[in-house]
Structures are given as structure tokens and as C-alpha cells.
Amino acid sequence: MTEAVIRNKPGMASVKDMPILQDGPPPGGFAPVRFARRIPNKGPSAMAIFLAAFGAFSYGMYQVGKGNKIR
């Protein structure tokens, strides 16, 4: 990009002619970032789910056996 003259005023300049301005960290550095996963313990445990499934299966098998006796 070369410098353009619009209405006798300098326009755009080359990027190479511009001073280098770079951001840096604040003095003393940034505050630490919390990145650990903090998931609350919600819901039933694995043992509770297993016992509920076992209970439902056992009750279903009991009903099947009871139905077979009636037939």
C-alpha cells in the first residue's frame, strides 16, 4: 500500500512504516485461571442404581414365575 493523497492530506501509509505496538501482560502477571472441573455430586450412586435395577429385574422375574404357575 502506498501513501495516497486525498484532498492534499496524506492518506493510507504502508504497514511497514507504522511503529510496532504490542500488548504485554500487566505488571506482576495475570491472576491464576481456575480450570479444574468442579462437578457436584448429584444423583444416585452407582451402587444405588445397580440395586434398583436388580430389584426391578427380580420383581419382573417373580411376576413371570407367578404368571407361569397360573397358566
Measured CA angle at 17 (ends 14, 22), to 5 deg: 110
Instruction: Identify whether the C-beta of residue 15 lies closer than 8 Å to the C-beta of residue 6.
Output: no
Q: Is residue 19 part of a domain?
A: no
Q: Is residue 2 part of a domain?
A: no
Task: Give the residue from 57, 36, 27 showing the smallest Cα distance to 65.
Answer: 57
Q: Is residue 21 part of a domain?
A: no
Domain count, the chain: 1
Q: Is residue 59 part of a domain?
A: yes
With a cut of 60, say whether residue 7 has pLDDT above it: no
Average pLDDT score over the chain: 83
Q: In terms of pTM, does the model score above 0.75?
A: no
Q: Is residue 22 part of a domain?
A: no
Instruction: Identify whether the C-beta of residue 3 lies closer than 8 Å to the C-beta of residue 14.
Output: yes
Range of the domain at 51: 46-71
The pLDDT of residue 13 is 64
With a cut of 70, say whether residue 49 has pLDDT above it: yes
Instruction: Identify whether the C-beta of residue 13 lies closer than 8 Å to the C-beta of residue 5.
Output: no
